[in-house]
Each structure stands twice: as structure tokens, then as C-alpha cells.
Amino acid sequence: MDFIHSMKFPFVIVMGISLFALAVAFWLINWVMAKDTGTDEMRKISDAIKSGAEAYLRRQNSTIIALSSVLAIVIFVLYAFVRKSNEHDPAGPMVLALCTTGSFIAGAACSLIAGYVGMWVSIRTNIRTASAARTSLNDALRIALRGGAVAGLFVCAMSLIGVGGLFMLLKQLGFPYEKIPFMIVGYGFGASFVALFAQLGGGIYTKAADVGADLVGKVEAGIPEDDPRNPAVIADLVGDNVGDCAGRGADLFESTAAENIGAMILGVSLIPYFGWKGVVFPLVARALGILASIFGVLVVQTEEHEDPMDALNIGYYLTSFLAALGFAGASWWLLRCEQAPNAWIYYTTCGFIGILTAQAFVYVTQYYTEYKYRPVLSIAEASKTGPATNIISGIAVGLECTAIPIIVIAVAILSSYKLGVMALGPAAGHTGGLFGTAVATMGMLGTAAYILAMDTFGPITDNAGGIVEMSHQPEEIRKKTDRLDAVGNTTKALTKGYAIGSAALAAFLLFSAYLDEIYNYSGHHITVDLSKPEVFVGAMMGAMLVFLFASMAIKAVGEAAQTIIAEVRRQFKEKPGIMKGTEDPDYGQCVDIVTVGALKQMILPGLLATAGPVIVGLIMRGFITPENPTIAAEAVAGLLMVGTIAGILMALFLNNAGGAWDNAKKYIEMGNYGGKKSEAHKAAVVGDTVGDPFKDTAGPSLHVLIKLLATITLVLAPLFL
């Protein structure tokens, strides 16, 4: 009984579920790997994708490891030698420096591994999905989803094991549990830092290859998409893996890690109510969410003539339902106390708000990016008068689509805050309310593993389609993979909606964690008062950073695409046999060139995102007035908050405009407004190409940027004081 009431018990549960999830992931790997790998021709293509993707990731990871190592040293030096230690520190300067640096390295390493595993499975599942499509749609669907689930489970389990493990380790070393969340903030920063470069590099790679392949292949040479004569076609297929799998894997890994630590920091402020239980609640709630996702993944199956999306939706609803049940159980167990016996009911409701918010984002994303609805239809209609009106109308749709999500987030934040205040009554006040928003975020993240499985499903089916196309399979099999690919496009769009929604909801939690940390280190409760000129300037800088970062990310794709265009033109010119089909193009050379280009181009925006907030914070220190020693920290908070708002809006704009252009093109290709090769179609292709770097490079990178801003300020907060 002592054990059951001790802090060890929930940790055993969290670790047990996490290890179980890893075991399931390994079982799924075996299940997928045992499937048939099709014909020799298919294997040849798949091997080319595999070696290209692995070569890229190896080089990308070396670059990231080098950057992270430098940063780890900088963090250590700053914490150990530059920073003035004070009586508020959770530990001595050297111990704190070691913890922060160590957790940074751990977070970075786990984020790298999470991204790598996602891609490892994806590049092995694609061919098995393609092969299965020759016999059964259901088999192909299940292989693709289960391959994706490996990534989902791995990412979520690793994030829990990392945060929980560091917590337990420091607890064993004798640190008081209420100090530990502040000592492991480096974990979130390490994870975001790696995620930013993984998403940027992968995003630039995938779209440079895509845009490059399209512009010389489709437009100049007039050959169809995924045509084996195009030297850039393998690079394009590689791009789907390194961008969508590796990139988004790292993205969601850092989301769950950072938000977990943030929620634990807020749990610390409720120790007078829930003791240690509030601190470990976020871990338990998410562990139960992983369990729910496992069930969700395993039930998915479809019939030959059903819409595969329906099957995926059933899995998602089941996951949401089970996660909600688990959430209620965890709240009942951990969020009750004598002063507030009914608090758990309020907080359970907060969790439900989070789950509903996720659903709302999924619906809004569908509305703005599917051709069943007005926005995409209006773009398709505007394509009739040429590319200019197509672009104007797409941009108008993108700007418009920000409205409902912001209202949804506003309602979610205000209502979970009010419920949190009601849960603990006026005595706890603001603190209880903030915890309410944190609990809502945990609710939203409960289904993360399933969502990530659906996301990785996207590039797997996309690749499967490419392999089927390039290996000249019969028309009916192509139709099958096309159906799966269309579903994959939808799930990719949905996960982007989910990722930005969770970033938005989590934002408030992460700000509050930052303010709590400032209090923890300085003993001052600061405001973030925009009427102070320093804070207002910080806020302007935050919003500007988002615009500049988006510009750099978009430009990077263009620059990298130029190099591949030049290469493809060179090959067409030097090897005239390629177009006749008598000579093989040199796929490897294209893969190499995009690799080098993407890695070169990711550095500048990555450094801007990392260095921007630090520079602003340090310059602000020069403006410190004696009567206000925390003004630099406050200005940085302004940068963080307004940067986050601008980032959410910009990401929504870029993601949804891109998705809408893509589907407007698809709608025309289905035979509307003249179908393929009509003037309307040409106009729609322009929109689609413009949307590519929007939705697959700049937009997703902004998700990570938002959280990087939060984690970098969390780690560096003590320096601004």
C-alpha cells in the first residue's frame, strides 16, 4: 500500500506503458518487415530511395550533432561561468550547469533518434505497402498505418522515457522533486533545437527536389510526375521521407517533451494542493494516451471498396474516446485534494476541451483544404482567368483561414482557464487557471501517437505510389495506391493542423512556465506589460522574426531548387539517351546535390531563430533601469508571446494556402474547368508550386520555431536577469 501511495507508483506505470509501447513498436516492425517486398524492379527503386534517404539523414545528423555540440558547450559556459548564481537557484552553479547541459544533450539525442526511427521504418514500409497493393487494399492500408505507428509510438514513448527518466534520476540523486522540472528544461530545448534543423533541412530538401523535378520535368521536358526518366525523381521520393517522417517526427517529439516539462513546472506551483501528484499528472495522462493510441492503430481495417479515410477516422475516434476515459481516470487519481475534492471534475473537463480542440482543428483544416468546400472551389474557379487570379484567391483563402482556429484557441484558453480557477477556488486564483490550460494541452496531446501514425502514413503511401508508377505496374494497382495517396495527403494536412493547434494551445502554458521560472530564479513576479516601450519593442521583434524566418525558409527552397534544376538540365543535355529511355539517369548525383543544398540552406534560418531572441534579450539588458531589474526578461517574454501569435497565424496561412492550392489543382485534374492540360490547369499548377514551400517547408518549420522560442527562453531566462 505504501508503494501505491508513493511517487514511485505512477512512475512505474509511466515507464511500464512506455516500455510496452516500445515493445509494440518492435512487434509492429517485425510484422511489417515480414511482408512481401514485391518484384525486383520495385526493390531496385525502393533501394535507391532508401540509400538516398539514409545518406541524407547521415549528413544532416552530422551537421546537427556538430551544431548541438557547440551549443552544449556554450550553454555550459554560460551557466557555469557567465551567469551570476543567486540564492534562488535550484542547485549550485556547477550542478545546474551540468543538469541543463546534460538534459540538453539528452533531448537533442532523443530527438535525433526519434526522427531517425520514423524514417527508418518509413523507407522500409513503402515497398511493402506497394507490394501489398497488388493484392489487397486492406493489407496495404494496414501495413502503411502500422509502419507509421512505429514512428508514432517510438516518438511518444521516447519523450516520456526521457522526461520521466531524467526526473527519476535527479530524484534518486537527492534533489527535491519541486526543483527538478526547472533543472531539466534543457531537455525541451535540445529536442526543439534538433527538431528545428531536422524540419528545416528536411523541408528544404523535399520541396527543392519537388519544385526542381516539376519545373524541369513536367514544365520543360513535358514528362509526367514520378517518370523514371527524370533524374530528380528519386530525390523527390527521398524528400517525402526526410521532410515528412524525420521532420515531423522530431517536431512532435519536441512538442510532447517541451509541453510535458512546462506542465510539470506549473504543477509545482500547485504543490500546496496536490503535492507531487500534480507534478507527475502530465506524465501519467500522456502514458494513458499512448495506450489508447495502440488500441486505435490495431483496430483499423478496411474493405476493398470503402473509403480508407473512414477506417482511419474510426481509429481516431476510438483513440480519442479511450484517451478521454484515461484522462478522467488520471484526473480522479491525481487531481483531488481535501481543499478541492471536485477539482478533478473541472480538470477532466479541461482535458476534454483539449481533445475537442484537436477535433475542431482537424475539421477546420479539412474545410479549408478539401475540394468539397467553398475555399478550394473558389481557387479552382479563379484559375479559369489565369495564374494571377489563382494566386490572389489562394492568398485570400490562406489569410482568411486564420480566423476560426484563433477563435477556437481563444475559447479553449479562456474556458480551460476559467474552469481551472473554479477547480481550486479564488484562493489559488490565477495559478489554478493556468494549470487548467496546461491540462487542456495534455488532453490535446493525448492522441499524439495516433496522429503521428496517420502523418507518417502520408509519405509511406506517397512513396508506394511512386514505386508502383516507376515499376510500371498495371493501371488498377496504380488506382489503388492513388486512393491511398489521396488519403495520405489528407492525413498530412490534418496533422499539420493538429501540430499548429497544439502549439497554439501549449503557447500559453509555456509562457506561464517561463514566468514561473523567472519567479523561481529572481523572486519577482513579473508582468509582460506591452505599455513599456522595451516590452513593446520586444513584441515587435518577435513578430518580425517570424516574417523574416518565413522569408528565409521560402527563399532557401528556391535557392536549393536552382541547383537541382541546373543538374537535371545538364544530365538531359549530356545524356540524350535519357529521354529516349535508352540510358539511365544518374539519380545519385541529384540526391547528393539536394543534400548539399538543403544542408547549406538550413543554417541561416536556423541560426536566426536561435540567436534572435538571445540577441534581443542581451541588448535589452543595456536598457535596464535601476528600478526594474527584470526588464530584459520581460521584453523577451514580449518577444516570445507576440512571436508565438504571429507564428501561429503565419503557419496557418502558409499551411492552408498551400494545401488549398494543391487540392484546387487536383480538383481541376479530375476533369473540372477543362481538366488536365487546360489553361485553368496550368494556372493551378502555378499555385500548387507556390504552395509547396509554404506548406512543407516554411509552415511546419514555424511550428517548431514557436516552440523553440519557448524552450530557448526557458533555458536562457536566468541569463537575462
Positions 408 through 427 that interact with a copy of itself (CB under 8 A): 409-410, 413-414, 417-418
Question: Binding of a copy of itself at residue 653 (CB under 8 A)?
Answer: yes
- Neighbouring CB atoms inside 10 A of 30's CB total 9
Question: Binding of a copy of itself at residue 393 (CB under 8 A)?
Answer: yes
Q: Which of residues 604-623 bind a copy of itself (CB under 8 A)?
A: 623
Answer for which of 36, 54, 225, 400 binds a copy of itself (CB under 8 A) is: 400
Q: What angle do CA 437, 443, 448 make, to 5 degrees?
A: 125
Sole window of 111-119, 157-165, 291-299, 646-654 interacting with a copy of itself (rule: CB under 8 A): 646-654
Rounded distance between C-alpha atoms, residue 510 and residue 713, angstroms = 10
**Which grid coordinates belong to 421?**
480557477
Q: Are 182 and 88 in contact (CB under 8 A)?
A: no
Sign, CA torsion 199/201/204/210: negative
Q: How far is the CB of 471 from a copy of itself (least distance, A)?
A: 30
The secondary structure of 11-29 as a DSSP string is HHHHHHHHHHHHHHHHHHH
Q: How far is the CB of 434 from a copy of itself (least distance, A)?
A: 8
Q: Which is nearer to a copy of itself, 104 or 368 (CB)?
A: 368
Answer for which of 385, 614, 621, 669 binds a copy of itself (CB under 8 A) is: 385
Phi first, then psi, for residue 543 (nearest 5°) are -65, -40
Q: Are 203 and 596 in contact (CB under 8 A)?
A: no
**Which grid coordinates belong to 118?**
520514423
Phi first, then psi, for residue 625 (nearest 5°) are -100, 145
- Cβ partners under 8 Å of residue 636, min gap 6: 538, 613, 616, 617, 620, 713, 717, 720
Q: Which of residues 664-683 bind a copy of itself (CB under 8 A)?
A: none
Question: Binding of a copy of itself at residue 360 (CB under 8 A)?
Answer: no
Q: Which of residues 182-221 bind a copy of itself (CB under 8 A)?
A: 211, 215, 219
Q: Which is nearer to a copy of itself, 45 or 620 (CB)?
A: 620
- Cβ partners under 8 Å of residue 486, min gap 6: 666
Rounded distance between C-alpha atoms, residue 291 and residue 57, angstroms = 30
Answer for which of 7, 22, 80, 399 binds a copy of itself (CB under 8 A) is: 399
Question: Binding of a copy of itself at residue 222 (CB under 8 A)?
Answer: no
Q: Which is nearer to a copy of itself, 141 or 213 (CB)?
A: 213
Q: How many residues bind a copy of itself (CB under 8 A)?
A: 74
Sole window of 105-113, 328-336, 638-646, 663-671 interacting with a copy of itself (rule: CB under 8 A): 638-646
Question: In angstroms, how far is CA 717 from the centroid of its own chain?
Answer: 24
Q: How far is the CB of 641 from a copy of itself (least distance, A)?
A: 5
Q: Which is nearer to a copy of itself, 493 or 564 (CB)?
A: 564
Q: How far is the CB of 402 from a copy of itself (least distance, A)?
A: 5
Answer for which of 115, 181, 501, 638 binds a copy of itself (CB under 8 A) is: 638
Q: Are 717 and 633 in contact (CB under 8 A)?
A: yes
Q: How far is the CB of 557 from a copy of itself (least distance, A)?
A: 8
Q: How far is the CB of 24 from a copy of itself (least distance, A)?
A: 38
Q: How far is the CB of 279 from a copy of itself (least distance, A)?
A: 21
Sole window of 34-42, 192-200, 288-296, 392-400 interacting with a copy of itself (rule: CB under 8 A): 392-400
Question: In angstroms, how far is CA 621 from the centroid of its own chain?
Answer: 33
Q: Which of residues 547-576 bind a copy of itself (CB under 8 A)?
A: 547-548, 550-552, 554-555, 557-558, 561, 565
Q: Which of residues 445-464 bind a copy of itself (CB under 8 A)?
A: none
Q: Which of residues 56-115 bind a copy of itself (CB under 8 A)?
A: none
Rounded distance between C-alpha atoms, residue 586 and residue 640, angstroms = 46
Q: How far is the CB of 531 from a copy of itself (least distance, A)?
A: 5
Cα dihedral: 543, 545, 549, 552 (round 10): 120
**Which grid coordinates belong to 689?**
508550386
Place of cell 506505470: 13
Q: Are 564 and 232 in contact (CB under 8 A)?
A: yes
In the three-class reduction of DSSP (H, G, I as helix; E, B as strand; rest coil), residue 372 is classed as coil
Sole window of 244-252, 317-325, 354-362, 396-404 interacting with a copy of itself (rule: CB under 8 A): 396-404
Question: Binding of a copy of itself at residue 344 (CB under 8 A)?
Answer: no
Question: Binding of a copy of itself at residue 396 (CB under 8 A)?
Answer: yes
Residue 19's alpha-carbon distances to 135, 452, 664, 716, in angstroms, are 35, 18, 44, 33
Q: Are 461 and 484 in contact (CB under 8 A)?
A: yes
Q: Which of residues 519-548 bind a copy of itself (CB under 8 A)?
A: 527-531, 533-534, 536-537, 539-541, 543-544, 547-548
Q: Which of residues 485-514 bind a copy of itself (CB under 8 A)?
A: 508, 511-512
Q: How far is the CB of 388 from a copy of itself (least distance, A)?
A: 4
- Cβ partners under 8 Å of residue 128, min gap 6: 32, 33, 35, 36, 37, 38, 143, 147
Q: How far is the CB of 683 from a copy of itself (least distance, A)?
A: 9
Q: How far is the CB of 624 from a copy of itself (least distance, A)?
A: 12
Question: Binding of a copy of itself at residue 709 (CB under 8 A)?
Answer: no
Q: How far is the CB of 606 from a copy of itself (least distance, A)?
A: 16
Choose among 184, 90, 177, 95: nearest CA to 521.
90
